[in-house]
Amino acid sequence: MPAGHGRRRVRGHGPLTFPPRGRLAWVALVVAGSAPLAGAQTDPAAPTTGDPPRPRLVDQVTVTAARSHARTGDTPASVAVVDRAALDTTAAPTVDDALRQVVGFSLFRRVGSRTANPTVQGVSLRGLGASGASRALVLLDGLPLNDPFGAWVYWGRVPRLGVERLEVLRGGSSDLYGSGALGGVAQVLTRRPGPGHGLEAEASAGGSGYLDGVATAHAAVGAWGGRLSAQALHTDGHLAVAASDRGPVDRPVASKHAAVDATVERRLGGDGRFFLRAMYYDEARENGTPLQANDSTIGLAAAGLDRGPWSLRLWGSSQELRQAFSAVAPDRETERLVRLQRVPADALGLSGQWSRVLGARHHLVAGLEGRQVSGSTHETGYFGGAATSELDAGGTQRSAAAFVEDRFQVHPRWLLTAVGRLDTWAHRDGRSLVTPLVATVGARDAVFPDRSETALSPRLGVLFQASSLVSLSASAYGAFRAPTLNELYRGFRVGQTVTRANPALVAERLWGGEVGALLARGPLALRLTVFDAEVRDAVANVTTETTPTLVIRQRQNLGRARSTGLEVEAEARAGARATVTAGYALIDSRVVSFAADPSLEGRQLPHI
């Protein structure tokens, strides 16, 4: 039900909301204390004192599904919420591990951020082609967490004690969030400064040199408040190669990182506020051999103003990734350095949003967004221990968007959601300069022409409260993902396989839909969702040449992929302190057409 409409009930059936969910055939028991967390935000959907306990699957609030506060049961979108109580009782040491509780959420190669190279930390929702470049958008309080150059995710940037809750919007979501939200959105919502002051800290240690410490502190003086969260993690890691295949060259996959997130805000009366925010992240990894390593540093600054119906955000980030690549002998006795890489990237974004309840039936949200990303890769190639070539490649991507959403209460039992968004983006200053250092041939300098694309992302959804026990929903939508600067301009090598960039790539496009049913009775709730989505012009690595010592591939827009499936989620509340949730997902993701190799048609997508 649109914000501002109060808690109107339909035949005793309160506004519906959706909760933390399980993974594939996953069950968990969550036990939460009754005392509020320091600095925690009040859930406007929480039942008042004396009300019987209701499932969180019915009574939680999301901001991600509609870019404004709404009960998830009042939107036809499929949303999962992992709240603070669930985070406090999970053993997951990182945010991406905690998100594994959500049905349909998976990581590329199913490897967590503690051991995976950052360039493969991509996110997949509902089996939409996992890759290093996420086909899902990851946000932190509305700020992008996806890498601006390659769209992978540094999950360690978020100190876990500073997190208020996690929200996952499943299904194409470009209508509200633009590029990257092809399969959905995962948003981390952090804890705002609370009244008074407080400190929470946590530390743990384990085998393989595992050490982890995290703390969050908040304080308020008059209208001013602040919160500081920090985390540091170290692990010696494990050997990632099977014992039967190991050689002298193999080492544990080790990592360490530190993150700081600081916010200062001033309350402006009512719900208004002005805030300043700064984040810093540093990590270093050893990737399984003496020569393979990488490290990253990221800085982000943001300012925001919330006043009445208006919300404004300005943010900028600067970062650099450095890593080394090697070729390992087949017997794993030796390795040799083949490339050193340095990737600086800068991003700047500005957004404005307006929301208003009109009359008793319409809740409108409209917004404008603009963004610029500049990134490049500087690489030195090696052979026989000597530097043989240098590569300088990269470019700039500028984008702008406008969107409008109307949540229309057609009838006390019917809620209609209509959204439209127009995105336009341009690739500029694309270049690729290869300079041989020992060969007799000259440099290869390529300057790519500027070009632009547009995408219209619509959504139409309907929610019908059939009775006091049952609500039904349906949605149809379009979404897209623009190619990253990494895909357009940077090639890479893994062992004897070379993958070349393609500056002619166009956006991937998705069309899909879903239907769902929610049954709620007393402390019990059950939700079923069936979905279908097809991705066109999917980016894939295509083999173009094979020799006895080298395999050459190129990124190309080829073919179509389709994902269909169902999600089942259930919840039971045992009094005010215990909740049992269970979830099951069945996903079938297959290649529909693939021009380069028709024999792949009908086969399942990898890493799903």
What is the predicted pLDDT for the residue at 54?
Answer: 59
User: Using 50, 70 and 90 to split pLDDT, how confident is the model at 495?
Assistant: low
Q: Are 603 and 591 in contact (CB under 8 A)?
A: yes
Per-position DSSP letters for 217-259, written without gaps between them: EEEEETTEEEEEEEEEEEEEEE--S-GGG--TT---EEEEEEE
Q: Which residue has the higher pLDDT, 551 or 296?
A: 296
What is the predicted pLDDT for the residue at 360?
Answer: 85
Q: Are 486 and 440 in contact (CB under 8 A)?
A: no
What is the predicted pLDDT for the residue at 438?
Answer: 77
Q: Are 326 and 296 in contact (CB under 8 A)?
A: no
User: Beta partners for 463?
Assistant: 415, 473
Tokens of 245: 């295949």
Only one residue has tokens 């930390």, namely 121
Q: What is the DSSP letter of 127?
A: T
Other beta carbons within 10 Å of 53? 16
Q: What is the β-pairing status of strands 26-31 and 578-593?
A: antiparallel
User: Using 50, 70 and 90 to split pLDDT, how confident is the model at 254?
Assistant: very high
309, pLDDT greater than 50? yes
What is the predicted pLDDT for the residue at 59?
Answer: 72
Q: Calculate the CA dihedral of residues 172, 529, 105, 138 and round it to 10 degrees.
A: 30
Return mean pLDDT, the chain. 85
Element (H, E) at 95: helix 95-98
Annotate 323-352 with b (16+ C-beta within 10 A) or e (fewer): bbbbbbeeeeeebebbbbbebbbbbbbebe
User: Beta partners for 200?
Assistant: 216
Find the mean pLDDT for residues 453-475.
Answer: 94
Closest to 231 in 3D by CA, of 209, 208, 254, 211: 211
Q: What is the pLDDT of residues 271-302, one digit of tens each?
A: 899 999 999 999 999 989 999 999 999 999 99
159, pLDDT greater than 50? yes
Q: What percent of the chain has pLDDT over 70?
A: 88
Q: What is the pLDDT of residues 160-217, one digit of tens each?
A: 999 999 999 999 999 999 998 999 999 999 998 888 899 999 999 999 999 999 999 9
Q: What is the DSSP letter of 10?
A: B
Q: Report the C-alpha gap between 261 and 279 in whole angstroms.
A: 5
Q: What is the pLDDT of residues 30-67, one digit of tens each?
A: 333 323 323 334 344 444 444 555 566 667 788 998 89
User: Beta partners for 321?
Assistant: 296, 343
Helix (H, G, I), strand (E, B) or coil at 390: strand
What is the predicted pLDDT for the residue at 55?
Answer: 64
Q: What is the pLDDT of residues 334-361, one digit of tens each?
A: 999 988 999 999 999 999 999 999 988 9
Q: Are 560 and 589 in contact (CB under 8 A)?
A: no
User: Using 50, 70 and 90 to split pLDDT, how confident is the model at 88?
Assistant: confident
Find the mean pLDDT for residues 374-389.
Answer: 89
Other beta carbons within 10 Å of 280? 16
Q: Report the C-alpha gap between 592 and 573 in whole angstroms.
A: 42
Closest to 561 in 3D by CA, of 495, 499, 498, 512: 512
Return the minimum-mean-pLDDT range out of 255-264, 293-302, 412-421, 427-436. 427-436
What is the predicted pLDDT for the residue at 346?
Answer: 96
